[in-house]
Each structure stands twice: as structure tokens, then as C-alpha cells.
Amino acid sequence: MPTGVALEFAIPAAGVALEAGALIRDFYERGVATEYKTDVDLVTVADRTSEKLIVERLHAIFPGHGIYGEEGTRDHLDREYRWYVDPLDGTTNFAHGFPVFCVSLGLEHRPGGIAANEDGVLIAGVVYDPMRDELFVVEKGKGAYLNGKQMHASQTDDLAESLLATGFPSRSRHENPNIHFYHEITLRSHGVRRAGSAALDLAYTACGRMDGYWEFNLNPWDTAAGALLVLESGGTVTGFDGSPFKLNSREVLATNGKIDKEVITLFENMFAGRDLDPIPTPQEFAAKRAERGR
């Protein structure tokens, strides 16, 4: 936990995330039954058990707060404060024994008079990776921390030298355009990683392991905590066109605040069909390799 910093909401929530993380780590080590929400969208006993525990703990600690959970919890959404809960972000990884997943809790302040379809202000968040015992905590105006140490976004200012992260949908992949973005950004960057947890991708952008992250078709529980981590670490979080980030946005672009303009320009060109690199045939690829080897 951060020392000498009073985090009113994040510190109590961190205790909840640690408990939920220990629970899902135990499930992971024992193995759990897996079900399918749709053709390829997984859910496990661990997701539901973790959400039940988190909801019980948050109600006990913050009885006046609402809760919006991935696994179906919709409690008191008219309240001034609302938690967005992802009890196990990275369920597909978890179900396949790939040890990259986390618990994510983000808190939104929705003062009186705000319309139901408008965002409030993100004011606190926690992301906990139980397999690496890494706890990311943040509170608006008070900084972001990894295992008690304040963290900052990277200083890389050139896309060509940047490492980025992205994700792909668990269903209807053929309808998702991200493979084209993956292709173009891979060619123009130092690399792109796809680890399978949006919350961790955002946390890694916040602490400087990644220089940027983008993805289509996310939900508020995926991004609420991670977006605030990035912002409090000195980064930026927007839409692909640079517009303000919204919790119900179907797209998110997070950067270290140094490469955002370059990435936004690239996205603008891609949507307009400008400056796209053709995919080489295997013969063209082999010829280029042979030429480089001379």
C-alpha cells in the first residue's frame, strides 16, 4: 500500500481485491468447471464466486454505493457512487491455464443531477494480479501506485520505438476490424502484445511497461480502474479520434501521453484508407528477406 498517502476509497477496495484475488488464485490452482456464455465467451465458477465476494465486501464497507458487475450484479445504480466490478478479467486465459488475469474495481462519482446516460468522474481504482502479487491502486488527484511505489507512464516519444498492447473480441472476431490495426501498428512500432486482459494492459501502460494500448468493444468494468491508472500516471485515455474517453465507449486508446498524436493520426489515415501498407505475398516476403541477407 502507498505510505504517507491517504487514499479514501482505493485502500479499502484494495483489501477486497486482494481477498478476491486469493480466491481466484486458489480456483486456478485447483482447476474449475468452465461454461460458455455464447459460442466462445467463457465464464467460470471463479468469476461468479469472486463477484459474489466482492459485492458482499463492498456493500459492507461502502453501504451507500451502487455496484455494476460483469457477471450480472446491478445494485443501486441510482446512487452517487458506483463501482464497476470485473471479478476476473482474463477469463479465457484463466480457463486455459494461462496465468494472466486480474481483479479490477473502478469507482465513479455521479453527483446529483447527472443524466443517466452521462459519465460521472472516475475517482478511484484497483487492479490486482494474483499470480504476480502486483497491486495497482489509484485515486484521482493522489497518484497511481504499484505495490506501494508511485508509478509513471513511459517517456518514449516515437511510435517506432514503442511497445503497445491490444486485444481481440472473444466472439464475432470476423466482424472486428482490429486485425487491420494490428497489422499497421506492428509495422510501425517496436512490437504489439496481446495478453488477454484489458485491465492489465491499461495498468501496464500506466506503469511504463507499455507505451500504449488500444482495443475495440470494451465495457465499463474493463476500463474504469485502468483508465484512471493511466491518467494519474501522466498518460492519456481517449477515443481513437482523440475525443474524450467515455465509460460506455466502444473503443479506447491509452498512451503515455507522448505518442498519442502519432497514433491518432495513424488511426485517422486507416479509417480513411490512406497510407496503408499492402500485405506482401509469401514470394515477395522471401525476396525481401533474400535481399536483406546479401
Cα separation, 54 vs 73, in Å, equals 10
Rg (CA), the chain: 20
187 is in an annotated binding site: no
Buried b vs exposed e over 118-137: b needs ≥16 C-beta within 10 Å?
Answer: ebeebbbbbbbbbbeebbbb
86 is in an annotated binding site: yes
Helix (H, G, I), strand (E, B) or coil at 269: helix
Cα separation, 60 vs 275, in Å, equals 55
39 is in an annotated binding site: no
| DSSP label at residue 256 | -
* C-alpha angle 194-195-201 in degrees, rounded to nearest 5: 90
- The residues that bridge with 143 in the sheet, in sequence order, are 139
78 is in an annotated binding site: no
88 is in an annotated binding site: yes
Q: Which long-range contacts (CB under 8 A, 24 or more apart) does 67-74 make?
A: 68/220, 68/221, 69/221, 70/219, 70/221, 71/43, 71/47
> Would you report the helix, strand and coil content of the chain in percent, each value rounded to 5?
35, 25, 40
Written as one string, the DSSP assignment of 216-229 is ES--HHHHHHHHHH
Residues comprising the binding site?
70, 86, 88-89, 222
Residues comprising the binding site for Mg(2+)?
70, 86, 88-89, 222
